[in-house]
Structure 1
Amino acid sequence: MRWACILLPQLAMDGVQRGREDHAAPLVLLSGTPQRRVLQAVNSPARALGLRPGLTLTAAQSLNCAFASAEYDPADIERWRNFLAAWAYGFSSQVSLHYPRCLLLEVQSSLALFGPWPRFEARLREELTALGFRHRITLAHHPAAARMLANLHDGLAITEEQALRERLAAMPLERIGLPEELVTTLARMGLRQVRQLQALPRDSLARRFAPELLAGLDTLMGRRPLALDYYRPPDVFDSRLELHFEVESTQALLFPLRRLTADLAAYLAGRDCGVQRFVLHLEHRDGEDSLMPVGLLSAERDAAMLLEFTRGRLEQLQLPSPVLALRLVARDLPIFVPQHQALFEDRPQQTLGWEQLRERLRARLGDDAVQGLAAHADHRPEKAWRTDTNRASLPSPSGARPSWLLPEPQVLREPLHILSGPERIESGWWDGEDVRRDYYLIETRSGQRGWAFRSVGDDGPLRLHGWFA
């Protein structure tokens, strides 16, 4: 087996920054008591100002006041970890959150689908970068080795057992997950690398040190299996994005909305499903949330299309008060069936397919503004169909029917040629609109084909009811 480790060294900062448009602004995350606020994490622009984790807020403000701050929330870190695990579930059925701030993926069984590891790794990096998370990725034969290698390397992929053992033997002891007190004790004995520890007798180490030393060493070298709990994605997508200022216009909500719909698309891809209905909550300081339901005629999971549909409805919404946070909840997650497409697309790149165009029109004009045709159980042609907002195609009835039905039948007086018929239709006795007609497929002198009828028992001219395309 081969395991990949995705280490997320700046998970807390990335989770906050991805909700902000200006990534070049200095930002710090604060923790601690109200009496003693401490910088828990800083971004690169804040580090350039001389700010470092561990500084008190008072000391940081004495160095420079031109930085923004946000709360360091461990619950947010766990939430982002679970979100990324749901994303990674689209690449492997064995995803584990065993170690803090990292994902473990079994990738051996996925290489046949996603290609060789360099291509697979490039795709992982591309999608993580698009989601806004910095990362380091390593590959090894077992998960513990992949995780510890990520402490020192990025992009390292070791596929041979001997090479992996040599690389692990050269690792410093403080980077293999041992307790800090144990590492300090070993350093005082002159032991600083894994190979030095391996050279000592095991029975002597077992007598002098706690069992966790040999257990950690055996797990690192693959002699002791690592017990992992595998992640399973939830059945409901529920994501909240808190804004760092009060938003009074819908245009200013487009950036956080783009993040939420992109997160929804990543979650749907991981579960291999689509979304047909979801609700956008707009949270206000006072009063209840403004709810904006979004319903689609068919399941979708493309991030750009989800953003387009939601934005069209959001632009029509009148905000009762400033918005403090956005929350997107999706519970209706049907199976997603991709559309069959031709190898060579004959329509221009910039044009939309009918399904996407239909949803865009509904988002812009309203659900009732775009209607399709649906068959109705009635033999009378003028009553055999009706408008329906939930359908966009008309099932073909038995027999030839014209695509253009005239509002009122017209008398035909010119010479014509009868191609087939008659087809008798008798119906409507129950509602007082009884009809008894014989229909014929006709062709005019100009070659146009139509559908005409004559009432039963009437020897007069035919009446045109529709034209064939």
Structure 2
Amino acid sequence: MRWACILLPQLALDGVLRRCADPDAPRVLVGGSAQRRMLHAVSPAARALGLRRGMALTAAQALAHGFATDAYRPEDEARWHRFLAGWAYGFSSQVSLQFPHALMLEIQGSLGLFGPWPRFEARLREELTALGFRHRIVAAPHPLAARVLANGHDGLAIDGDAPLRHALGQLPIQRAGFAPEVATAFARMGLRTLRQVWALPRDGLARRFPAEVLRHLDALLGERDVALESYRPPDRFDPRIELGHEVESSQALLFPLKRLTADLAAFLAGRDGGVQCFVLQLEHDHDARTRVPVGLLAPERDAALLFELARGRLEQVQLPAPVRAIALCADELPPFVPVHRELFDPRPQQAMPWEQLRERLRARLGEDAVHGVQVQADHRPECASISPPDVPTRREAPSPGAAAGPRPGWLLAKPVPLRGPMPQLLAGPERIESGWWDGGDVRRDYYRARLATGQCAWVFRPIGGGGFMLHGWFA
């Protein structure tokens, strides 16, 4: 087996920065007691001002101005940890959250699908960067070794026991994964690297240190198995973003909405599923909420499409009060079946697939404004199809035998008398006699005709006499 460790050194801070309109602005996370507030995490822009992790908030305010502060919440950090595990589940069936601020992935079984490790690693980095999380990635034959090597390396890929032992031996004691008191004891003995610890007699280590030290050394080299608890994705997606200020316009909600729909798409890709309905919850003061349901005719997971549909629904809502937070809740996550595509798609690059166009029209015009057409067994052209709102909007060819001859692409709601000179008859007649059972008896001879204006029309003449009637247009 082969494992990759994705270390997330600024997980809590990145979770805050990704919902900010300006992530490059100086910002810090503040934790600790009310009497002694400390800087828990510092953004690069805040670090440029001289701020450091562990500094007292009062000292930071005396040193620099113009940086924003957010409260450090361990529950938010754990939520982002689980979210990224759901994303990683799309690359490996064995994902573990056992180590804080890190994801462990078994990658040996995934190389055949995602290509060799350099290509696989590049894809992981690209998607993590798009999600807004800083990271370090290391691959090694054993999970604990990968986790420990990530403390001092980024981009390191080891395959083999001899290179692994060499790389581990160069690690400083403080980064080898020992408990702080054990690392301090080794340092007082004059030991600086892990290679020096391996050189000590095992009997002496067993007498002077807890048994966990020897177990840790054995697990680093794969001589002892490490039991990792596997992650399983949940059946519900319900992230929430606090805006930090009151928002009175739906346009100002588009930035957090885009982040929520992108997270939903990443979550769905990880579990290889789709979403057919979800709800936007706009939170106001006094626990008041506005629900904005978003429904689709088929499961989807494209981030751009989900955002476009949610934006269309949101722009139609009149906000009853300022919004303080926005949440996206998806309880039904059906399997996703990709749309069938041709190997050589002749569709122009600027064109839009029918499924996306259909959903965008429904989002803009309303649920009942777009619906399908269903063929029914009736020879009368005006009765040969129905379009009730509950018919799915699918592109289907008419069933064989539904039409005996060519039919126009545009059928008029009611036939109208044909004016002007006598048309040139191109095809016909096709006789239609039907409807005697419901009082709508018709007896007509239909022709395909070319008018004096050059248009191609579908006309008929009533049996028994009468002038031509225009019933449709051919393209």
TM-score (norm 1): 0.90
Q: CA deviation at 1:378?
A: 5.3
Summarize deviations over 1:342-364 as a string: whole Å, max 9, x none: 44443432332222222222222
Equivalence for 2:280:
280
In 1: Cα distance, 2:457 partner to 2:399 partner:
18
Summarize deviations over 1:11-50 as a string: whole Å, max 9, x none: 0100011110112322111112222222111111111222
Q: 1:407 aligns with which of 391, 409, 413?
A: 413
Identity of matched residues, %: 58
Equivalence for 1:294:
294
More deviation in 440-449 or 31-40? 440-449
The one-letter amino acid of 2:154's match is: D
The one-letter amino acid of 1:82's match is: R
Contact residue 161 and residue 221 of structure 2 kept, 8 A: no
Q: CA deviation at 1:60?
A: 1.7
Contact residue 8 and residue 133 of structure 2 kept, 8 A: yes
Equivalence for 2:367:
367
Local SS of the residue matching 2:239: strand
**Aligned in 2, Cα 1:451/1:98: closer, same or farther, shift over 3 Å?**
farther
Local SS of the residue matching 1:237: coil
- Map residues 41-440 of structure 1 onto 2, 5 A cutoff: 41-376=41-376, 380-389=380-389, 390-393=392-395, 395-399=397-401, 400=403, 402=407, 403-409=409-415, 416=425, 425=434, 429=437, 432-435=438-441
Local SS of the residue matching 1:265: helix
Local SS of the residue matching 1:260: helix
Contact residue 280 and residue 326 of structure 1 kept, 8 A: yes
In 1: Cα distance, 2:56 partner to 2:230 partner:
39
More deviation in 134-143 or 343-352? 343-352
**Aligned in 2, Cα 1:453/1:392: closer, same or farther, shift over 3 Å?**
farther
The one-letter amino acid of 2:399's match is: P
The one-letter amino acid of 1:67's match is: F
Q: CA deviation at 1:366?
A: 2.2
Contact residue 380 and residue 435 of structure 1 kept, 8 A: no
Local SS of the residue matching 1:332: coil
The one-letter amino acid of 2:243's match is: L
Contact residue 453 and residue 464 of structure 1 kept, 8 A: no
The one-letter amino acid of 1:120's match is: F
In 2: Cα distance, 1:445 partner to 1:84 partner:
64
In 2: Cα distance, 1:109 partner to 1:226 partner:
19
In 2: Cα distance, 1:231 partner to 1:287 partner:
33
Local SS of the residue matching 1:158: coil
Local SS of the residue matching 1:276: strand
Contact residue 242 and residue 326 of structure 1 kept, 8 A: yes
Q: CA deviation at 1:101?
A: 0.6
RMSD: 2.7
Q: CA deviation at 1:459?
A: 8.2
Contact residue 432 and residue 442 of structure 2 kept, 8 A: no
Contact residue 246 and residue 322 of structure 2 kept, 8 A: yes
Point out where structure 2 has 5 or more consecutive residues left out of the alignment.
none
The total of aligned residue pairs comes to: 463
Point out where structure 1 has 5 or more consecutive residues left out of the alignment.
none
In 2: Cα distance, 1:407 partner to 1:252 partner:
44
Summarize deviations over 1:208-267 as a string: whole Å, max 9, x none: 321101110011111111101111111111111111221111121111111111101101
Contact residue 374 and residue 395 of structure 1 kept, 8 A: no
Local SS of the residue matching 2:249: coil
Q: CA deviation at 1:462?
A: 8.7
**Aligned in 2, Cα 1:308/1:203: closer, same or farther, shift over 3 Å?**
same
Q: CA deviation at 1:445?
A: 7.2
TM-score (norm 2): 0.89
**Aligned in 2, Cα 1:159/1:466: closer, same or farther, shift over 3 Å?**
same
**Aligned in 2, Cα 1:33/1:433: closer, same or farther, shift over 3 Å?**
farther
